Amino acid sequence: MTEYTKDTIEQLIPQRHPIVMIDGVSILNASSAIATLNVEADNWFFCDGALLEAGLVEHAAQSAAALLGARDYSAGKPAQIGYIGEVKNFEVNKLPESGERIVTRIQLLAEVDAVSLVEVRSEVNGEYVCAGQIKVVIVGE
């Protein structure tokens, strides 16, 4: 298992302030990881006391990007720019509040060329927050 923290996460993803939506990731193996985010009131997607649905989607997408980026990083390559290609059956059960810590499990389901399909599920203190599938498209440096 390899762990990345707030100080090293930017080696895995191309996003920078103010839209970094993960603050830690543990790479479990080539196809799964656990990413985290402490929700703070100054988060870009924070509104009326909670993290918005869009923030959960971006968090999920960056969690997926970090899993893919960790592979590149360990091969000595820089973080590649990627986009959300598709969000599918993404259900939102709860909007996390300030001070809560989101824990997200990412599982790589399929990978064809530059397109990766991942399944994500997020919790706060064991409570179900959101889950769904995200397709990430990597376009390069």
Q: Which positions ≥6 away from 83 have C-beta within 8 Å? A: 136, 137, 139
Nearer to other proteins, 2 or 88 (CB): 88
Nearer to other proteins, 14 or 121 (CB): 14
Pick the piece of the chain touching other proteins (CB under 8 A) from 31-39, 53-61, 70-78, 112-120: 53-61
Q: Which run of H or E residues covers position 46?
A: strand 46-47
Cα separation, 114 vs 140, whole angstroms: 9
CA angle centred on 14, ends 11 and 17, rounded to 5°:
95
Residue numbers 83-102 binding other proteins by CB under 8 A: 83-92, 95
The residues binding other proteins (CB under 8 A) are 14-20, 44-45, 47-48, 52-55, 57-58, 61, 81, 83-92, 95, 132, 139
